[in-house]
Chains A and B, each alone.
Chain A
Amino acid sequence: MNLWIPSLWTSATLVPLPVLLCLTGAGLALVFQRHPRAQRAIAMTTLILMVLVAALLLVLSDRGAIVAVIGNWAAPVGIALVADRLSALMLLISSIVLVCVLWYAMAQGIGDGSNIGRSEAERQDLLPVAIYHPTFLILAAGVANAFLAGDLFNLYVGFEVLLAASYVLLTIGGTRDRIRAGSIYVVVALVSSLVFLAAVSMIYAATGTLNLAHLALRLPDIDPSVRLGLQLMLLLAFGIKAAIFPLSAWLPDSYPTAPAPVTAVFAGLLTKVGVYSIIRTQTLLFPSPDVGSVWVDRLLLVLALFTMVVGILGAVAQDDIKRLLSFTLVSHIGYMVFAISLADGQGAENLGATAAAIFYVIHHITVQTALFLVVGLVERRGGSTSLDRLGGLAKLAPGIAVLFFLPAMNLAGIPPLSGFLGKVGIITAGAQVGHPLAWVLVVGSVVTSLLTLYALVKAWNKAFWQDAPDDVLVEKAGDKAPRGMYAAATALVTVSLALTVFAGPVHNYAGRAATGLIDGRSYVEAVFPGGTENADDTGVRDQEVADDDGFDEEVHQGAGVKGTGAQGADHG
C-alpha cells in the first residue's frame, strides 16, 4: 500500500484542487458565519491558494495537458478534469481577478453606493454580509470547474454552480431594484441552462459519450446534419451566457444594479466562461471544415459584427457609467466571437486568430473588471454613477481619475496598451483570412474601437474633466473610500498594465495554447494516454506521450485500477 502514496501526489493532484479549495473554503466560511474576521481570512486564504495552484498548473501544463480522472477510473468512465494551457491560463487570470475583487469587497464592506446616507448599522442590516463570502467562493468553484471540465456534463454542472452563486450575489439584500433586475437575469440564465442540458442529452443520444476527448473522436462519424444541429444547440446555450447579439439584451439591464464588486466579477468572468466554452467546443468538437461548419462560422462572423456595433451604439446612448460599461462589455464580446469564427481550420491564420482570441479574453477580463471596480470608487466619491450628476472628479480625486483613465484607454485600444495589441492581433488574423466578410468585420472592429473611445472619453469628460453641474455639490456626496478599495483597484489596473509589458510572453503562451486547440490531438491523447483506438479500455497507466509540439507530456494517473463493471458508462 505504500506504493500508492507517492503516486497520489503528481501533477494530476493539482488539477481538482482549485475546485476543492473553493468548495471547502465556502463550507468553512458558512460555519464561521458569525465571525466576519475568520470568514474573511478563510476566503482570502482560499483564493490566494487558488492563485498559487493555478500558477503551478500554468507552468506544468505547458509541457502537455494534465489530466485528472476522478476516482482514478480512466476516461471515459471516470469524470476527467483537464488542465491544458488554455484552461490553466484562464484559471490563473480568473483567480487573480477574484483575489482583487475579494480584497476590494472586504475593504468596502459590501455596502455600496445605493446605501449612501445610511448609517453603518443600517448597511449591515440591509445586506447580509455573512452569505457574501461563501457565495463568492462557490462562484469561484463554479468558474474553476467550468474551466477544468473535460466532460460536457461536468461543464454543465460547473455552469450551474457558478450561476446559482451569481443569482444569490446579484439579488443580494433583496432590494427592489435588484429583485427587478435579478428576475430578468435569473429567468434568462435558467432558459440557457435548459437549452444546454437539452443539448447535452441530444449529444449523449447521438454519440453515447459526454467526455470531450471521446466526443472529439466520435462526432466526426455522425451524420453532418445531426452534428450541425448539436453544434447550434451548444452555441445557442453558450451564446446566451456569453451575451452575443441578439442574446445579449439581458446583460446591460441586470448587471448595473448589483454592488460594484459583484458587477465587476460578473463582467470579468461570467461572460468569459461562455466565451471559453465556445472556444473549447468549436475547436475541439467541431473542427472539421465541412459545409455546415463553414456556415456556422459565417453566422458567427455576422453575429460578431452585430454584437460589436449594436453593443457600442448602446454604450454611446447611456448616461450612466455602469450601464455604459455593461454595453461596452457586450460590444467587446464581439471581438472574441470574431476571432473565434476565424479560428476554424488548420492554417497559420487560424492559429493566429485562436491566439488572438485567447489574448483578447485575458486582456478583457482584467480591464473590464478593473473598470467596474473603479466605477465603484467613483460611486463612493461622487455619490452617483449618472453622468449628469458627476463632475470635477479629476480635481477632487486625481487618484480615481488615473485609475479610470488607464483601463478606459486600454479598453478603447490606444497604443501601446494590451487592448491595442489584442485588437491588432484579431484584425491581422481577419486580414490574413481575407474573406470579404472578414474584411467587413475588420472595418467593423475598427469602428467599434473608435466608438468605444468616443463613449469612454465622453464619460471621462463628464465625470472627471468637466466642472460639476451647478446643482450638484460633489463635496456633500460620499466620503473618501477606504484605502483597501483603492489598493485593490490599483492592483488590478497594474495587472492589466502588466499584460501590456509582458504581452510577448503572454501572447507566446496563448500561441502555444492555440496550437494545442487547433491540433486537438494532443488533448485527446492526454485524456486517452493508452491510445485512442482502445479508448473504452481501462487499465494501469503511467506513461509519457509525445506531444505534437515536441513537448513531452506527463500523464500520471496513479496505479492499479481495474475496469470491471465499468462498461455501463460507455454505450448507446
Chain B
Amino acid sequence: MPQGLSAFMQDATIVSSMVPSAVLVLAVGVFVAAGVYLILERSLTRVLLGFVLIGNGVNIMLLLAGGQAGVAPIIGTDNGESMSDPLAQAMMLTSIVITLAMVAFLSAMAYRSWQLYGHDEVQDDIEDARVARHAHRGEAAYTDLDAMDLAWTLDDEAAEVHDDYDIDDGAAAEASPVVAVASPAAPPAARFGASRQGGQQ
C-alpha cells in the first residue's frame, strides 16, 4: 500500500475498506483478456463483441474504484459509515450508456458493411498498399514531367519558345535531339501545343 494512499484513507470520510472483491477483479481480467482477443479479429461483429467485453470489464473496474460494497447511498438510510460510493456508480452508469450507444453504432456499421461488401471485415488501407507496391517496384510515387529525362536541353526549349527554330524544316527536326525522345515524353512542340490548345477550350 503506497504511503500517500494510506494517509489519504485515514482522512476519508467513509470508513469502507478499499480492498475490492477478488471475484470482481478476476472478472475484469477475464473480460478484458477475452475482449482483447476478439478485438484483434478482422470481422466487425467479433470486434463488436470484444468491445462489449472490454467495456464491461472497464465498467466493473469503475465499480471497483469505488471500494467495497455498502448500503445504498441515500441520505437517511445510514449514518454514512457503510454507504457505498455513489460517484463510482454514477460514472459506471454513464459509461454503460455511452457503451450502449457505441455498440448500436458499431452494429449498424457492421450491417452496412455486410450490405455493401457481403462481409463485415475490416480492410487494410488500399491506398497504402498501392503506394507500397510502387515503392517495391522502385517506381516514382507519381509521374513527374519535370523530372523526366526528355533528351532535349533547355536551349532547345528556349529556342522553341522564342520561335526562331524552324520546326517545319524536316532536316533540322531530324538532326535535333527531339526525335530521339522516347515515349511517353512528347517533343516539346507537341506538348506545349496540345496543352495550350487545351487551355483555350
Give the B-binding residues of A (Cβ under 8 A).
Answer: 153, 156-157, 160, 164, 167-168, 171, 174, 176, 179-180, 182-184, 186-187, 190-191, 193-194, 197-198, 200-202, 204-208, 210, 218, 220-223, 226, 252-253, 256, 316-320, 323, 387-388, 392, 395-396, 458, 461-462, 466-470, 473-475, 536, 564-565, 567-572
Contacts and interface: CB of A to CB of B under 8 A. Distances in A.
Contact of A571 (B13, B95, B102, B146): B13
Interface in B1-25: 2-5, 7-9, 12-14, 16, 18
Contacts of A458: 144
A212 to B, nearest CB: 15
A208 B8 CA distance: 9
Interface in B65-91: 65-67, 73, 75, 80, 83, 85-88, 91
B102 A164 contact: yes
Contact of A468 (B5, B54, B198): B198
Nearest to B73: A568
B128 to A, nearest CB: 7
A23 to B, nearest CB: 15
List the 3 closest pairs (A to B, CB-CB), nearest first.
A223-B2, A221-B4, A319-B142
B62 A184 contact: no
Given A194-B54, A202-B61, A206-B5, A319 B141 contact: yes
Contacts of B2: 206, 222-223, 226
B144 A462 contact: yes
B145 A466 contact: yes
Contact of B109 (A179, A200, A202, A252): A179
Given A167-B105, A388-B143, A395-B199, A223 B95 contact: no
Interface string B147-191: 000000000000000000000000000000000000000100001
Contact of B61 (A176, A179, A201): A201
B8 A207 contact: yes
A475 B5 contact: no
Nearest to A197: B58
A245 B126 CA distance: 21
Contacts of A190: 51, 102, 106
Contacts of B61: 198, 201-202, 205
Contacts of B116: 174, 176, 179
10 contacts: A187-B39, A201-B65, A208-B8, A221-B5, A222-B5, A323-B127, A467-B191, A567-B80, A569-B86, A571-B67
Specify the main secondary structure of chain B where it touches its partner: helix
B135 interface: yes
Contacts of A387: 142
A572 B198 contact: no
Contacts of A323: 127
Nearest to B190: A470
A451 to B, nearest CB: 14
B51 to A, nearest CB: 6
Contacts of B58: 194, 197-198, 201
B67 A182 contact: no
Contacts of A194: 51, 54-55, 58
B9 A572 contact: yes
A156 B2 CA distance: 27
B87 A475 contact: no
Given A176-B116, A186-B106, A191 B91 contact: no
A378 to B, nearest CB: 15
A526 to B, nearest CB: 22
Contact of A567 (B13, B51, B102, B113): B13
A572 B80 CA distance: 13
B13 A570 contact: yes
Contacts of A467: 145, 191-192, 195
Contacts of B123: 180, 183
Nearest to A187: B47
Interface in B96-127: 98, 101-102, 105-106, 109, 112-113, 116-117, 122-123, 125-127
Contacts of B86: 568-569
B140 to A, nearest CB: 9
B122 A184 contact: yes
Given A176-B117, A319-B131, A572 B54 contact: no
A568 B87 contact: yes
A297 B201 CA distance: 59
Contacts of A317: 131, 135, 141
A253 B127 CA distance: 8
B154 to A, nearest CB: 16
A474 B194 CA distance: 13
A468 B145 CA distance: 10
Contacts of A207: 8
Nearest to A476: B201
Nearest to B87: A569
Contacts of B144: 458, 461-462
Contacts of B8: 207-208, 218, 221-222, 572
A435 B61 CA distance: 40
A153 B91 contact: yes
Contact of B125 (A208, A218, A253, A571): A253
A469 B145 CA distance: 8
B14 A568 contact: yes
